[in-house]
Structure 1
Amino acid sequence: MNKSINQKSFLSTIIIISTLGGLLFGYDTGVINGALPFMSESLGLNSFTEGLVASSLLLGAALGAVFGGRLSDYNGRRKNILYLALLFFISTIGCTLSPNVTVMVIFRFLLGLAVGGASVTVPTYLAEISPAERRGRMVTQNELMIVTGQLSAFVINAILGNVMSGDEHVWRYMLAIAALPAVFLFLGMIKVPESPRWLVLKGRNEDALNVLRQVREEKQAKLELNEIKENFAKPSGMKKASLKDLAVPWVRRIVLIGIGIAVVQQITGVNSIMYYGTEILRDAGFQTEAALIANIANGLISVIAVCVGIWLLGKVQRRPMLLIGLIGTTTSLLLIGVFSNVLEGSAALPYVVLSLTVTFLAFMQGAVAPVTWLMLAEIFPLQLRGLGMGIGVFCLWIVNFFIGLSFPILLEKIGLSTTFFVFTAMGLLSITFVKKYLPETKDRTLEELEHYFRTYDGRDAQTDLNQVTVQTK
């Protein structure tokens, strides 16, 4: 009994330590929200260099996500997270001490490599070390840690921004705080074990069994080791897809749909609010200090909505949940554009904009974001999963980069109202794409989905898939 309690306790410790990578992911993407107004004055940023400082991290993240998975296959999940912790620490200190824009952009890019690497390595490590019955909950805890990291950044920004508003270097303190969880992540990962699945992949079966014994009962550990070895043996003769397979029409179509899912999540403009929420509220009429405090509401609603979204995923179908989420986000964006025009100069405008950004994030984090990541994992057959996920996540970060770069420029050139009308138009395109091309994946087997993509042209996604389901049963 005591051994079982110790195993569960050790597994909980592993979750807390490894998801510090998710916390760093969230903090480093969210801290720029409050640091940017002070940084702009200190480093003399214009709208273009503001966008460059914010988005250089996202370009790094795109490359980090692509190479992070391969490096974790080569080095091991645990060792890769150790290297990422070092990179988080070094790049955070580099950003904190940056004397000019050029140095800042270089270290933000390096920080992005760590963020992108963590975005693929941490969930992989969690999935491979967790028991089957706890896997979903453990992996989604990383998503919760990401939004918790963003909320932490918003709270710390508000405290420092109000207490030290007269200090032109306050932004350096905001950035420097991220060094602490990086240190804890490094020290913690020294003490946790390697992924048993990776150890089996490298032929180290005895080491894998020793790891499993630390977090499972003896009988379960041996049983799971045999299952892992069998799973590795099964696909050994299976040909994995490569870029040349995109010449096959059904493969190309499913990969394009995967790219579409990733792009849909980003063109909602969610990260314009997560990265520039303080700037949006300042533009609406709040003073900087008040905008920093008000922006906490955006972080808080994100945490609550992610918890609700995780619960909803087990209750409702993916496609209608995504459509309702997109209708909610698009309507919120439209109303921000309308009221920014109608109430321009009014004392009520900043509060209206704040309430609408909170509403937007409730729909986004509660419906659109969780469905996006789940459908990306569900839509690809096993042979295509590596290729499809790799291309999809890369495109997600690249679109994120361009939105992060262009948003402050749009804000300066065409104003708050018109900028959100642009995002509204993209939201309408997203709704059209989902309704026309995206099939339902809940309660569908991978075989049904693969048969659908091989057989039908996708002009009426849901009707076609319903026919496939009847034929394959």
Structure 2
Amino acid sequence: MIARFFLGISIGVKSTTVPIYTAESSPPAIRGALTMLWQTFTAFGIMLGYIMDVAFVNVRPDIYLNWRLMLGSTCVAPVVVCCMVWFGPESPRWYMKKNRCSKAFQCLLRLRGVPLLAARDLYYMHVNIRVENNMKAGRNLMKEMFTIPRNRRAAQSSFLVMFMQQFCGVNIIMYYSSVIFVNAGVSANTAILASLGAGILNFLFALPAIKIIDTWGRRPLLLWTFPIMSICLFFTGFCFWIESESVRLGLVVLGIYLFMIAYSPGEGPVPFTYAAEAFPLYIRDFVFHALQKKLNRNLLSTGTILSKALNTNEILKKATKYDLTNAVLFWSIICIIPR
């Protein structure tokens, strides 16, 4: 429990910091694509986790060495990433806020590669930060998040897309897919292997979004994602009523895989990208902390719902209910969320 507590703290810091850092460091033309890489490589890490599960599932299960290796193997990638972070530049915008202009210019020079572009962006940052500081002076940011119309609309839309990500049903699929496959009639080892397929699809179909998130736009990705996810969950839930075990298993796997294919390029990467762009710069850092708190509460609520359903096919009943949730969220996008 202590280890999971510190794991949660580190994930919270990462989830808040990475989108802001990326949005501050990226050129506007490719900002959406670079910001969504956070979610893409989260999917890549999940896929690696499933690969480790398959690799170690049969290693001395009599002394419970298999699950220890599964958990222990997850420390390798974070160590590699931690080493890489030391070679990355600081956010130039952060340096500018601390009046360390020469450091900011050096960072921009590394990021842009051309002195003229670095100098241009340094000047833009300087002007923007001066305007923001004047706007912040004597203001209550928490109050202004809801009293200023543009901030309120941005908060409403950003909170909604964050809520959508946690309650669209993906947590049931990713956390308990092996349980679902076991309930569909396969062995535990086969269920883990089938879960690996879901993890691979989650990563592979996040890759096209790197291109289309800046060409199609954020809202269109959400609009086509939710109807398909709703249909897939409805299909998967009702497939459990099929009496033939082989047919039931094949259709359940198909439904879950199609769900992941729909989720990965849409609702997976869009929320953090959308939230990073929706707010004025003077309030964005503050709002991201609030969004992360909301995300953590959503995760806690989702975990509570799922943990109460672990021992029976209630998991599938919950999953089936999410098809209605996705339909409601689809209409929420149409009515509430702007482009």
Which residue in the other structure is 2:117 paired with?
A: 220
Q: Report deviation, 1:270.
A: 0.5
The more displaced of 291-300 and 303-312 is: 303-312
Cα pair distance change 1:227/1:438, threshold 3 Å: closer
What count of residue pairs does the alignment treat as equivalent?
A: 335
Cα-to-partner distance string for 1:220-264 (whole Å, 9 max, x where unaligned): 333333332222222221136622336638455553343222112
Q: Report deviation, 1:417.
A: 3.7
Which residue in the other structure is 1:424 paired with?
A: 323
Secondary structure in 1 aligned to 2:246? coil
Which residue in the other structure is 2:273 paired with?
A: 374
Secondary structure in 2 aligned to 1:412? coil
d(CA) in 1 for partners of 2:26 and 2:11?
22
1:161 aligns with 2:60: no
Which residue in the other structure is 1:236 paired with?
A: 133
For 2:114, give the aligned amino acid.
E
Question: How is 1:198-347 mapped onto 2 (pairs within 5 angstroms)?
Answer: 198-215=94-111, 216-239=113-136, 242-245=141-144, 248=147, 250=149, 252=152, 254-340=154-240, 342-344=241-243, 346-347=245-246
d(CA) in 2 for partners of 1:201 and 1:249?
24
Query: Any conservation in 2 of the 1:258–1:388 contact (CA below 8 Å)?
Result: no
d(CA) in 2 for partners of 1:347 and 1:336?
14
For 1:267, give the aligned amino acid.
F
Query: Any conservation in 2 of the 1:259–1:391 contact (CA below 8 Å)?
Result: no
For 1:173, give the aligned amino acid.
L
Which residue in the other structure is 2:81 paired with?
A: 185
Query: Any conservation in 2 of the 1:337–1:416 contact (CA below 8 Å)?
Result: no
Secondary structure in 1 aligned to 2:309? helix
d(CA) in 2 for partners of 1:326 and 1:124?
26
Secondary structure in 2 aligned to 1:347? helix
Q: Report deviation, 1:331.
A: 0.9
Cα pair distance change 1:312/1:131, threshold 3 Å: closer
Cα pair distance change 1:418/1:133, threshold 3 Å: closer
Query: Any conservation in 2 of the 1:411–1:419 contact (CA below 8 Å)?
Result: no
- The normalised TM-score by structure 1 is 0.64
For 1:138, give the aligned amino acid.
L
For 1:391, give the aligned amino acid.
A
For 2:260, give the aligned amino acid.
L
Cα pair distance change 1:377/1:359, threshold 3 Å: same
Which residue in the other structure is 1:53 paired with?
A: none
Query: Any conservation in 1 of the 2:135–2:282 contact (CA below 8 Å)?
Result: yes
Task: Give me the CA root mean square deviation.
Answer: 2.6
Query: Any conservation in 1 of the 2:36–2:270 contact (CA below 8 Å)?
Result: no
d(CA) in 1 for partners of 2:27 and 2:157?
31
Cα-to-partner distance string for 1:168-208 (whole Å, 9 max, x where unaligned): 13111111122223332333333443222222211122222
d(CA) in 1 for partners of 2:285 and 2:87?
30
Which residue in the other structure is 1:392 paired with?
A: 291
Secondary structure in 1 aligned to 2:264? helix
Identity in percent: 24
Query: Any conservation in 1 of the 2:221–2:265 contact (CA below 8 Å)?
Result: no
Cα pair distance change 1:428/1:109, threshold 3 Å: same
Which residue in the other structure is 2:22 paired with?
A: 126
Which residue in the other structure is 1:150 paired with?
A: 46
For 2:256, give the aligned amino acid.
T
Q: Report deviation, 1:366.
A: 1.8
Question: How is 1:14-29 mapped onto 2 (pairs within 5 angstroms)?
Answer: none
Cα-to-partner distance string for 1:381-430 (whole Å, 9 max, x where unaligned): 44553454433332233212221232142243563442222222322321
Cα-to-partner distance string for 1:114-165 (whole Å, 9 max, x where unaligned): 1121122233333444455554443333332111111111111111113444
Cα-to-partner distance string for 1:292-351 (whole Å, 9 max, x where unaligned): 1111111111112211223222333543431221111111111111111x2257233222
d(CA) in 1 for partners of 2:315 and 2:244?
12
Query: Any conservation in 1 of the 2:172–2:315 contact (CA below 8 Å)?
Result: no
Residue of structure 1 aligned with 2:336, choices 437, 440, 447: 437
d(CA) in 1 for partners of 2:88 and 2:148?
45
Cα-to-partner distance string for 1:4-50 (whole Å, 9 max, x where unaligned): xxxxxxxxxxxxxxxxxxxxxxxxxxxxxxxxxxxxxxxxxxxxxxx
Cα pair distance change 1:309/1:174, threshold 3 Å: same
d(CA) in 2 for partners of 1:285 and 1:129?
49
Q: Report deviation, 1:268.
A: 0.9
Question: How is 1:84-99 mapped onto 2 (pairs within 5 angstroms)?
Answer: none
Which residue in the other structure is 2:13 paired with?
A: 117
> Structure 1: which 5+ residue stretches go unaligned?
1-104, 442-473
Query: Any conservation in 2 of the 1:272–1:407 contact (CA below 8 Å)?
Result: yes
Query: Any conservation in 1 of the 2:233–2:319 contact (CA below 8 Å)?
Result: yes
The more displaced of 374-383 and 258-267 is: 374-383
For 2:330, give the aligned amino acid.
I
For 1:407, give the aligned amino acid.
L
The more displaced of 140-149 and 283-292 is: 140-149
d(CA) in 1 for partners of 2:243 and 2:47?
29
